[in-house]
């Protein structure tokens, strides 16, 4: 799947999860939600498989890992991610950091996620984010983001667009 197809799939799964959230809880609702979790796990695995060669896939996969534990699964559609995929993303992130191939967006995202750094502790390959990158000096969200471009980036884009304080680039 391409990044565009994955973002579309994310939007579809998110929409289904929110629709279920607004319905009365039944056994059928639980079955449908569990199916969404399975499909979202596959989306995350796709991002993981692309994360070595595509920094955008890495960003989205890392976001999903953070979001899966920072927000309730019945609102996101994300639950029980594949540990191997989580490890792959963190190993690829570590490789990019070591090779000094990360961009400013990764830096501000990592600083944002590091406020809940415990979230990544359950992943066996996790080594604390590099202190040269995650520190008070870098702990600032940008003033502007391209909100239209963010709309094309799955739940990650939806999340960043939901935060107040950004102006449109």
The mean per-residue pLDDT over the stretch 120-125 comes to 72
160 close to 150: Cβ distance less than 8 angstroms: yes
Q: What is the pLDDT of residues 50-60, one digit of tens each?
A: 999 999 999 99
pLDDT of residue 118: 75
pLDDT of residue 147: 92
Distances (CA, A) of 26 to 16, 18, 30, 73: 15, 15, 6, 17
| Domain total of the chain | 1
pLDDT category at 33 given cuts 50, 70, 90 is very high
Q: What is the pLDDT of residues 7-21, one digit of tens each?
A: 999 999 999 999 999
Domain ranges, residue 80 = 3-168
- Which residues, 6+ apart, have CB-to-CB distance to 91 below 8 Å? 125
DSSP the chain: --HHHHHHHHHHHHHHHHHHHTSPP-HHHHHHHHHHHHHHHHHHHHHHHHTTT-HHHHHHHHHHHHHHHHS-HHHH---S--HHHHHHHHHHHHHHHHTT---HHHHHHHHHHGGGGGGGGGSTT-----TTTSSGGG----SEE-HHHHTTSHHHHHHHHHSTTPEE-
pTM assigned to the model: 0.92
Q: What is the pLDDT of residues 56-87, one digit of tens each?
A: 999 999 999 999 999 999 999 999 999 999 99
């Amino acid at each position: 799947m391409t990044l565009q197809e994955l973002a579309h799939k994310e939007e579809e799964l998110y929409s289904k999860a929110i629709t279920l959230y607004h319905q009365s809880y039944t056994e059928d609702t639980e079955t449908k939600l569990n199916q969404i979790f399975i499909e979202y796990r596959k989306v995350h695995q796709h991002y993981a498989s692309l994360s070595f060669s595509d920094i955008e896939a890495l960003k989205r996969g890392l976001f999903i890992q953070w979001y899966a534990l920072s927000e309730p699964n019945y609102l996101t559609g994300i639950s029980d991610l594949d540990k191997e995929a989580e490890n792959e993303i963190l190993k690829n992130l570590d490789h990019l950091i070591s090779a000094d191939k990360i961009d400013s967006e990764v830096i501000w995202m990592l600083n944002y996620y590091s406020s809940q750094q415990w979230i990544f502790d359950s992943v066996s390959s996790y080594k604390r984010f590099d202190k040269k990158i995650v520190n008070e000096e870098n702990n600032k969200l940008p003033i502007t983001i391209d909100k239209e471009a963010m709309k094309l980036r799955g739940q990650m884009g939806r999340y960043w667009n939901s935060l107040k304080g950004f102006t449109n680039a």
